[in-house]
C-alpha cells in the first residue's frame, strides 16, 4: 500500500489565488527513485513479511518496481534474523516469537550497496479482535471491526484487510471452441468458466485512536462499504481483517500518510505534509526513505457473508451483455475468439455472447481458495 501512496509525499501543490482559469501544472520532476519499505516486525507467531520497492514517476507505465536486497531483523540485545526472498521485492521469515523485553530494527542492504537502518522500536502488544461484523445501511453492507484492551495500553490501532468473493459470469456456457479442430464441442466440467473467485486488498489507511478516551474500547469501527448490487456479494463473500497496535509516533506517521493520500486533490484540500519515517540511509543520510517500522503481534479474524442472508437485491453486472445468434460459424472459431458459444436453440441455432460476459476467468480464477468453506 505504501508504494501507491508515496508520490503524494514527494510532491508539492501550489495554491492559486483565483478560480477564473484552469490550472494545468506540469508533473513534478523527482530527483531520484526512493526506497519504499512496507511491513512490520511480527513479534508473535505469524510470519514477518516486508515488501521493498522504489518510487516511480507518475507517468510510468508500471507501478511495480521491486528491490533486490538483504533484509535482517536485529535486536538491541545482539540477536538477528534473516528474511528470505519470497518473490520480487518480497522478504519473509517464519514466526520469530520475539522477547517483548527487547527492541528491534530492520537492516536493509540493497543490491547497489546502500545500507538502510530503522530506529530500534519497542514491541507493542496488539489485543485480540473482538468481532468483525456488518450491518445494512444506505443500500450497502457496512463492515466493521470491534476490539478492546483491558490494560488500556494499546490505544493506537491500524487495520488492513483482504477480500475474497465468489461471482458468476452473466451467462453460462455449455459449449466451447476446440482450437485444434476448429469445431464447437461440449464444455467439460474441468473447463467451466462460469463460477470464479476474485480478491482485493484494502486501498485505504485504516486508523483509530482511543488516546482521548477513558477506556481502550473500539466499537464497530467502519472498514469498508459494499453496495448491495455489487457482484462481490452475489454469492458468497469473505473478509480477513488484520489488526496492529501502534506506538504514538507510528500513529502520527500513518495519520500523515492517510491525509496525503485521501484528502488531497482540491484547491481547499490539505497540503501535503513532510513524510518523516524512522528508516534512514546510513550510507547517504541525504537519501529519503519512505516507511515506518513497528514491532507487534498481528491479530486477525475472518468472516463469511452469504447472499441469502442479505436483503434480496438484483446484482448489477459490470458489462452490458446480450445474447445473439451466430450468423456464421467463422464468427466463433477464428482468432481472436472474442465471442464464446453458449448453447443452441430448439431450432439448432448457435447462441453466443462476448467473452467478458461469459468467461469469468478474465477477472478471477476458478481455483477454490484453500480457506473457502
Q: How distant, in Å, are the alpha carbons of 322, 345, 363 from that of 348?
A: 19, 5, 31
Q: What are the pLDDT digits (tens) for 243-274?
A: 999 999 999 999 998 888 776 555 555 556 65
Q: How far apart are CA 223 and CA 132, in angstroms?
A: 9
What pTM was estimated for this model as a whole? 0.85
pLDDT at 336: 82
CB atoms within 10 A of CB 279: 20
- What is the band of 347 on the pLDDT scale with cuts at 50, 70, 90? confident
Q: Beta-carbon neighbour count of residue 24 at 10 Å?
A: 5
153-185 tens-digit pLDDT: 999 999 999 999 999 999 999 999 988 888 899
Average pLDDT over the chain, rounded to an integer: 88
* Separation CA 327–CA 308 (nearest Å): 40
299-306/140-148 β-pairing? unpaired
Q: What is the pLDDT of residues 271-327, one digit of tens each?
A: 566 566 999 999 999 999 999 999 999 999 999 999 999 999 999 998 899 999 876
What is the per-residue pLDDT for 265?
Answer: 53
**Per-residue model confidence (pLDDT) at position 183:** 87
**Count of C-beta atoms within a 10 Å radius of residue 323:** 14
Amino acid at each position: 500500500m505504501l508504494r501507491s501512496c508515496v508520490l503524494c509525499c514527494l510532491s508539492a501543490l501550489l495554491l492559486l489565488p483565483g478560480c477564473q482559469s484552469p490550472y494545468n501544472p506540469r508533473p513534478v520532476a523527482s530527483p531520484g527513485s526512493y526506497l519504499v519499505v512496507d511491513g512490520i516486525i511480527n513479534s508473535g507467531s505469524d510470519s514477518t513479511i516486508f515488501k521493498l520497492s522504489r518510487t516511480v514517476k507518475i507517468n510510468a507505465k508500471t507501478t511495480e518496481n521491486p528491490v533486490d536486497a538483504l533484509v535482517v531483523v536485529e535486536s538491541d540485545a545482539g540477536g538477528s534474523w534473516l528474511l528470505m526472498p519470497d518473490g520480487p521485492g518480497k522478504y519473509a521469515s517464519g514466526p520469530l516469537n520475539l522477547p517483548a523485553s527487547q527492541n528491534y530494527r530492520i537492516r536493509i542492504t540493497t543490491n547497489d550497496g546502500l545500507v538502510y537502518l530503522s530506529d530500534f522500536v519497542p514491541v507493542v502488544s496488539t489485543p485480540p479482535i473482538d468481532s468483525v461484523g456488518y450491518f445494512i445501511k444506505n443500500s450497502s453492507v457496512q463492515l466493521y471491526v470491534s476490539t478492546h484492551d483491558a490494560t488500556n495500553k494499546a490505544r493506537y490501532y491500524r487495520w488492513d484487510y483482504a477480500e475474497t468473493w465468489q461471482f458468476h459470469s452473466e451467462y453460462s456456457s455449455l459449449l466451447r471452441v476446440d482450437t485444434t479442430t476448429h469445431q464447437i464441442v461440449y464444455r467439460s466440467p474441468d473447463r467451466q468458466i462460469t463460477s470464479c473467485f476474485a480478491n482485493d486488498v484494502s486501498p485505504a489507511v485504516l486508523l483509530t485512536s482511543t488516546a482521548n478516551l477513558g477506556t481502550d474500547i473500539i466499537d464497530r469501527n467502519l472498514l469498508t462499504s459494499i453496495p448491495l448490487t455489487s457482484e462481490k456479494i452475489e454469492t458468497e463473500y469473505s473478509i480477513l481483517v488484520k489488526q496492529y497496535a501502534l506506538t504514538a509516533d507510528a500513529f502520527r506517521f500513518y495519520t500523515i500518510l492517510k491525509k496525503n493520500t485521501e484528502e488531497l486533490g482540491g484547491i481547499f484540500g490539505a497540503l501535503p505534509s513532510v513524510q518523516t519515517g524512522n528508516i534512514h540511509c546510513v550510507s547517504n543520510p541525504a537519501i529519503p526513505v519512505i516507511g515506518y517500522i513497528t514491532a507487534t503481534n498481528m491479530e486477525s479474524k475472518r468472516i463469511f457473508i452469504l447472499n441469502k442472508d442479505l436483503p434480496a437485491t438484483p446484482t448489477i453486472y459490470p458489462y452490458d451483455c446480450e445474447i445473439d445468434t451466430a450468423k456464421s460459424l467463422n464468427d466463433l472459431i477464428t482468432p481472436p475468439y472474442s465471442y464464446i458459444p453458449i448453447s443452441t436453440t430448439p431450432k439448432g441455432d448457435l447462441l453466443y455472447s462476448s467473452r467478458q460476459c461469459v468467461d469469468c476467468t478474465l477477472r478471477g480464477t476458478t481455483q477454490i481458495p484453500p480457506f473457502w468453506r
